[in-house]
Structure 1
Amino acid sequence: MTVGLNGTPESLAAAGWGAHEAMVRNRPLLLVSAWEWQPYSHAPLASTEMPEQRSRRLPEEAANHLALRYPGLGIATKQLTGPPPEMLCQAAAEAEMLVLGTTGLGALTGFLMGSVAMATVAHTHRPVVLVRPGSSAATFPTEDGAAREMPVSEKDDVRDGPVLAAIDLGPTTDGVLQFAFEAAAAHSGDVQVIYSWNPPVGYVQGIGGDLRWRADIAAEGAGGVHALLGPWREKYPEVSITERPEVGSPGRHLVGAAASSSLVVIGRRTNRHWPRKPRIGHVAHAVLHHSPAPVAVIPQDSPRLAAKETGFDETGPKAE
């Protein structure tokens, strides 16, 4: 379990979520920060601390704080030198998942996604979890006298509710379901599976035809989802499953359901024809920007990727 830190309350909230998840799953926790050398870099006017010193100190401070709350958790720290998106992708390649913080602007306006987080999600070939800060937070002093926020208790690191899995019956479905069921089983929770399809404009004409079409599509979707989940019921008999086939905007359905979920799991397709221009997808964009719950983005697996693929080369993302 790896968490990327940059000293913001959002990244510290991600550290709290990652520590709780690592404790539940009996995994070690690695806190990393990335520092990129800049010519003529200097300390800010309010402090004599250099950026490199601050980057090294951040993981150590968070580790000391988390060690008090999770005394049995193995915590390590690491400073990486280089462009943050590239360094985070390297860290993710060696981790079960990478956890990052995102700036929350409220349920209506959603996330203000940082460029580093978006680039990391788009390029890495490992699961990335985006966490927004909770409403309850405490501060702890740092060596420079500043106050940094951390959730006040273990309860503030997690949300109540089922794990929400968004599927499209495409190539990302197995990875999404695997991650969702593992998360639900680790927390003795439930899984809610949403399969929604937005019909093209003018697919049917007339109110009566539209109603019949929606009923037929809903029934067909329900049958397909139920059949798809059969093996998962056998593999995870202790996990309760709720199926929700929907007709309409997938992003809207997912954001609405995320309000009562503990975690949202969505897939990301890699572009085989344009490997140097990875995309997140419009549905994933909507969920990442508006979900009040943490969002796990699961990339499509590719057998041609090396075990430690970082997603970058000297000119950009590596070809698959």
Structure 2
Amino acid sequence: MSAVRIIIVNYRTAGLTVDCLRSLAPEVKTLADCRVVVVDGGSGDGSAERLAATVRDEGWGGWVEVLPLLENRGFAAGNNAALRPLLTTARPADYFLLLNPDTVVRPGAVRALVDFMDAHPTVGIAGSRLEEPDGTPQRSAFRFHTVASEFEAGAQIGPISRLLSSRLVAPPTRDENHPTDWVAGASAIVRRDVFAAVGLLDEGYFLYYEETDFCLRARRAGWRCWYVPASRVVHLVGQSSGVTNPKDPPKRVPRYWFDARSRYFRKNYGLLYAGMASAAWLMGFALRRLRASVQSKPDLTPAYFVGDFIRFNFLPV
């Protein structure tokens, strides 16, 4: 039976992490060799102590380890802090499941991923079907970003989106297993051999785009990525970061989002392509604002977004 290690990176979300662990408890019992490492990214609010106490009080010590870090260095670095020792043990696990703290796994979710990976040895990464608490699916299987997709993302106008439907980063959800470019890092299982081929997550990303970058590196190394909807995971969107929560959008998008986007394009496609992608987004956004102005629709863009977008993509910072 394949061995699995689950990694959860917590930052001041101890309550959510405990709920996630509770949902994992029955899953772990169905697998022959499954353990969880909870990395606390220097929360400084007592999270590490609370998590350690909960593990002790619930009797989870046999399958949960809490790894406290001194500082918060982001999602990639937090996962890598657990991955490094796990990958260098005498007998490293076959698979590593990266799981957000703001998730609750449905029964059978982990086993569905493991069974799929066991049956498809050429697949390096697989992602779960993320969904709302009421079961409504979230778009969780994605295409790589392109100049065309950035234009569509900036515009968000029906006719343009339909014209560029084959370029949408987040296409409509499907109910069957299928290959995809990349999957959300909220629940993604990675074969050990992928890390051997491409290395760990890029710690140059603090938050966002790190899973996109990792899946692209895996693709270039010959590993395929699939979406497995039988693995159902509730994702409380944005609860761990506060940035992508549609119910409570940020007043200003943090700089690390802009830095991550810029790093992804520049690193993987070059400076010229990055500039073209950013210019395409601005062109699309200009069309969106023109249409909204004509139709007297409110501007829902986060504060300072356009100025920050220009500043962090086109001006020396």
| TM-score, scaled to structure 2 | 0.31
Q: Which has the higher helix share?
A: 2
When normalised by structure 1's length, the TM-score is 0.31
Bigger-Rg structure (1/2): 1
